[in-house]
Structure 1
């Protein structure tokens, strides 16, 4: 069996974010017990392009709801994916971020 790494753990969390919801790099890092690793969560999102099953990386933004990973998708793809799920984006920022925020510490609590 292949050894699991932090990226795999991040992908497992991100795959559980339902359509129409979004979370932050920091919320994922905190949930995984590595609060200072939000940047590493971002690196994982950059590297998830070929992950199987697919990772809905467009649902992960910064703590203010800014689409900081947008340029990795090319053009307005990230915004279009969020909009197709009913998430309003204006000036590269999720408008109702508090309403659509998905906190893995709450949503994935046992």
Structure 2
């Protein structure tokens, strides 16, 4: 997935948005690119809002978001509204496109 994201990020500021810094760390280390940790270090900080996400996408700063197998929600640090917005406005990337497997996390392309 890291290679796919790096190939396709274009001029975006961030490689991808994920639920926590713990999730982001391996992507940052393997690509050298910045990753948004929407829920802070552990994923429990509700830092991302729909408005912030919309702004990042509209400005071309973010093209991809990874939603974990449990999705996002208040217990994961990102509101259910963010998850709903991503599912309504993003396009799910088929796992086969980036060498992933079905199940687990789901990658969405935004914008």
Q: Which structure carries more helix by proportion?
A: 1
Q: Which structure carries more strand by proportion?
A: 2
Normalising by structure 2, report the TM-score. 0.37
Q: Based on CA coordinates, which of the two structures has the bigger radius of gyration?
A: 1
